[in-house]
């Protein structure tokens, strides 16, 4: 959600920083490794109970993730290899951070480590849904709990020592996000042959949805034009047209 709403603004603001880092010889892969190293240290801080120091570690973990894309573009080395490396390191980072929370919970006994493991499992499921969808040619970005939201919520839980409520909140939001992405891909995969449905983009502002582009000439559509295609009657007409085409197929 945060990625869809504010990531482009962050990227624009960080362009000068990315340009300077690229000019200084800093690579995107190096930033990714730094971020992974910060997450390992942060996981150890959480596991040992140094929660307030871990807040700083979460911030330092997230900063390289904001900069590596800009550095890659300015250095002219943006490509699938770097994207793959960044994605794998992000998954390792997530496991290390939540693993630190599980270890911290385990020090106090009870079943709370299972709660942290549920958060880790949902984060892996959410990431897998996107990766598998994109491998099949679909889109699955968006949702209530992407990586940015997980880091923000984890930082809040550490800062105010409310990790248990935050973990429960992440379980709920993670479950909703997994369902959102599943439905999004299911709708795309269920479209009739020859039709390219416009996938629902979770976390996009209402203004962005209303200023959709015309599928013919690409110009921005007004609200009235958008309603002509989105109103229930128009949707019913399109469904009936698809049914009639299927009936007439040999």
Question: What is the per-residue pLDDT for 73?
Answer: 84
Question: What is the per-residue pLDDT for 74?
Answer: 83
Q: What is the pLDDT of residues 6-32, one digit of tens each?
A: 556 656 777 788 889 989 999 999 999
Q: What is the pLDDT of residues 226-236, one digit of tens each?
A: 445 555 555 66
Nearest CA to 128 out of 169, 168, 167, 91 is that of 91
Report the alpha-carbon distance of residue 182 to residue 220 in Å, rounded: 29
Report the alpha-carbon distance of residue 141 to residue 2 in Å, rounded: 11
Task: Report whether 113 contacts 102 (CB < 8 A).
Answer: yes
Question: What is the per-residue pLDDT for 219?
Answer: 45
Please list the ranges in the chain whose pLDDT falls under 50.
Answer: 205-227
Give CA separation, 137 vs 140, 175, 185, 210, in Å: 10, 24, 10, 25
The two three-digit tokens of residue 10, written as one number? 């962050």
Question: What is the per-residue pLDDT for 105?
Answer: 96
Domain segments of the chain: what residues? Answer: 2-189, 206-248
Domain 2-189 in CATH 3.40.50.740? The answer is no
Determine which one of 90, 196, 212, 217 is catalytic. Answer: 90
Is 29 one of the catalytic residues? no
Question: What is the per-residue pLDDT for 15?
Answer: 78
């Amino acid at each position: 959600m945060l990625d869809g709403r504010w990531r482009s603004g962050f990227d624009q603001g960080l362009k000068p920083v990315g340009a300077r880092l690229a000019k200084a010889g800093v690579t995107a892969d190096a930033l990714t490794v730094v971020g992974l190293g910060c997450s390992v240290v942060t996981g150890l801080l959480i596991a040992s109970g140094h929660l307030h120091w871990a807040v700083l570690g979460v911030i330092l973990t997230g900063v390289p993730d904001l900069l590596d894309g800009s550095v890659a573009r300015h250095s002219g080395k943006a490509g699938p290899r770097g994207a793959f490396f960044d994605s794998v390191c992000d998954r390792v980072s997530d496991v290390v951070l939540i693993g630190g929370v599980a270890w911290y919970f385990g020090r106090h006994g009870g079943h709370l480590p299972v709660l942290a493991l549920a958060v880790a499992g949902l984060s892996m499921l959410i990431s897998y849904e996107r990766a598998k969808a994109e491998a099949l040619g679909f889109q699955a970005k968006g949702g209530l709990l992407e990586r940015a939201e997980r880091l923000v919520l984890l930082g809040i839980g550490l800062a105010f020592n409310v990790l248990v409520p935050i973990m429960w909140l992440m379980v709920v939001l993670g479950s909703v996000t997994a369902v959102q992405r599943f439905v999004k891909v299911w709708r795309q995969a269920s479209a009739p042959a020859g039709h390219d449905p416009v996938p629902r983009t979770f976390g996009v502002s209402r203004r962005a949805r209303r200023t959709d582009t015309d599928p013919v000439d690409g110009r921005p559509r007004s609200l009235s034009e958008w309603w002509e295609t989105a109103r229930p009657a128009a949707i019913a007409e399109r469904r009936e047209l698809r049914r009639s085409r299927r009936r007439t197929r040999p």
